[in-house]
């Protein structure tokens, strides 16, 4: 079981295990203890929730909640997300679903409150919870604040909670296992920044060779491409390489560019290879193309800070993925 990685080797072991099992690069981690969880909930004034049925669970801190709309304080919220036997069918999967609903309600509360309204409020909130959390070295308070500030521009419907496709384990019906190939398709979609919800996105390009343009006239198998990462996102070139390779492109190498880099993600091409560059650009949400006299048969994809993932023309997430957004959080009954 994947939880044994945490029990046996701690956060670093779990981090490595998840990356190896999913081929998804993880930038940061946060580990929150029970006290920190309660402090976080109390720091934002509690979480509004709709409790459909009364809950009594002696194994979750003697949790006792009536049915109806209410605001959970830190102690009640901790009991709610820990409760398993006292709700639903008593399974871990149903508890995960409730935890996702709770997280959606929490995101809704934070984004509609004064927490993100000013740097002072934000740093006060972070200061109230950082004593009880553990993070990697690079995820300091300033980095967390930058992430939170960026969330101001995010719509609640774009904050999604995903459950990996799963079913009973063949050798033990009391355990679950990932359903293949659906799980791998989901992880590939995450690694390559594809749309996981199936919602249509606006076309990002036009007929000048930018992403989202008309389908190119060359097949992916005919295109050789080198991928260079000009962003601060470690491992991005490898993730994009996996996505393009899955579509049939011949990736000749990955690395980082030297010298000046373009402001916009760009596919450079040599004489006679414009269509090859347009094929690669069409896979991206927002790439453009430009001729470069020093290049020969291999086109060069330079990932800049505007990189916004693939256009969604590829495989994407399978239909079996169970997804809910923060906008779906049940904070009101009826």
| SS3 category, 61 | coil
Q: How far apart are CA 190 and CA 316, in angstroms?
A: 9
Q: Give the C-alpha distances (Å, rounded to integers) separating 89 from 30, 86, 171.
A: 29, 9, 22
**Cα angle at 205 between 216 and 279, to 5 degrees?**
25
Beta bridge partners of 167: 177
Q: At what angle do helices 182-191 and 3-22 cross, to 10 degrees?
A: 70
CA dihedral 148, 149, 154, 155 (to 10 degrees): 80
Query: How would you write the pLDDT of the chain (334 residues) with one tens digit per residue?
Result: 788 899 899 999 999 999 999 999 999 999 998 998 999 999 899 999 999 999 999 999 899 999 999 999 999 999 999 999 888 888 889 999 999 999 999 999 999 888 888 888 899 888 888 888 899 999 999 999 999 999 988 999 999 999 999 998 888 988 899 998 889 889 988 887 787 776 544 444 433 444 444 556 789 999 999 999 999 888 899 889 988 998 899 999 999 998 889 999 999 999 999 999 999 999 988 899 999 999 999 999 999 999 988 876 555 677 778 888 898 888 888 7
The pLDDT, as a whole number, for residue 244 is 92
Beta bridge partners of 324: 161
In 3D, which of 251, 253, 280 has the Cα closest to residue 268?
Answer: 280
In 3D, which of 92, 286, 129, 100 has the Cα closest to residue 193?
Answer: 286
Q: What is the DSSP letter of 82?
A: H
Beta bridge partners of 64: 56
Q: How far apart are CA 16 and CA 197, in angstroms?
A: 27
Q: How far apart are CA 6 and CA 17, in angstroms?
A: 9
If one counts every other C-beta atom within 10 angstroms of the C-beta of residue 306, the result is 13
Q: How far apart are CA 323 and CA 233, in angstroms?
A: 26
| SS3 category, 150 | helix
The tokens for 68 are 């109806």
The pLDDT, as a whole number, for residue 302 is 96
The tokens for 144 are 């967390």
Q: What is the DSSP letter of 310?
A: B
3-state helix, strand, coil in the chain (%, to 5): 40, 20, 40
Q: What is the DSSP letter of 216?
A: P
Q: How far apart are CA 257 and CA 237, in angstroms?
A: 11
In 3D, which of 305, 304, 276 has the Cα closest to residue 291?
Answer: 276
Residue 147 sits at φ, ψ, to 5 deg, of -65, -45
Strands 250-255 and 266-269: unpaired
The pLDDT, as a whole number, for residue 170 is 86
Domains, the chain, ordered by start: 3-194+321-328 (3.40.630.190), 220-303 (3.30.70.2390)
The tokens for 38 are 């309660």
Over the stretch 140-173, which tens digit does the pLDDT of each residue have?
999 999 999 999 889 999 999 999 999 988 889 8
């Amino acid at each position: 079981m994947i939880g044994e990685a945490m029990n046996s080797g701690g956060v670093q072991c779990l981090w490595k295990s998840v990356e190896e099992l999913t081929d998804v690069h993880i930038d940061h981690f946060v580990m929150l203890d029970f006290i920190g969880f309660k402090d976080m909930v109390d720091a934002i004034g509690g979480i509004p929730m709709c409790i459909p049925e009364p809950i009594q669970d002696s194994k979750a801190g003697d949790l006792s909640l009536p049915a109806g709309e209410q605001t959970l304080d830190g102690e009640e919220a901790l009991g709610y997300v820990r409760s398993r036997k006292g709700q639903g069918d008593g399974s871990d999967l149903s508890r995960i679903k409730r935890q996702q609903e709770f997280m959606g309600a929490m995101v809704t509360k934070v984004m509609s409150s004064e927490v993100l309204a000013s740097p002072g409020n934000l740093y006060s909130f972070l200061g109230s919870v950082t004593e009880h959390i553990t993070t990697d070295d690079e995820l300091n308070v300033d980095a967390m604040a930058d992430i939170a500030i960026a969330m101001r521009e995010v719509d609640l419907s774009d904050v999604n909670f995903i459950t990996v496709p799963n079913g009973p384990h063949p050798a033990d019906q009391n355990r679950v296992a990932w359903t293949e190939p659906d799980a791998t398709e989901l992880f590939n979609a995450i690694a390559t920044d594809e749309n996981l919800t199936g919602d249509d996105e606006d076309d990002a390009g036009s007929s000048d060779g930018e992403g989202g343009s008309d389908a190119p006239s060359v097949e992916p198998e005919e295109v050789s491409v080198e991928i260079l990462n000009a962003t601060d996102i470690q491992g991005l070139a490898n993730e994009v390489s996996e996505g393009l390779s899955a579509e049939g492109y011949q990736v000749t190498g990955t690395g980082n560019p030297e010298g000046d880099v373009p402001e916009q993600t760009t596919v450079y091409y040599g004489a006679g290879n414009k269509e090859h560059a347009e094929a690669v650009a069409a896979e991206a949400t927002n790439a453009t193309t430009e001729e470069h006299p020093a290049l020969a048969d291999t086109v060069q994809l330079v990932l800049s800070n505007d990189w916004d993932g693939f256009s969604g023309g590829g495989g994407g997430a399978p239909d079996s993925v169970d997804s809910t957004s923060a906008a779906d959080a049940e904070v009101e009954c009826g």
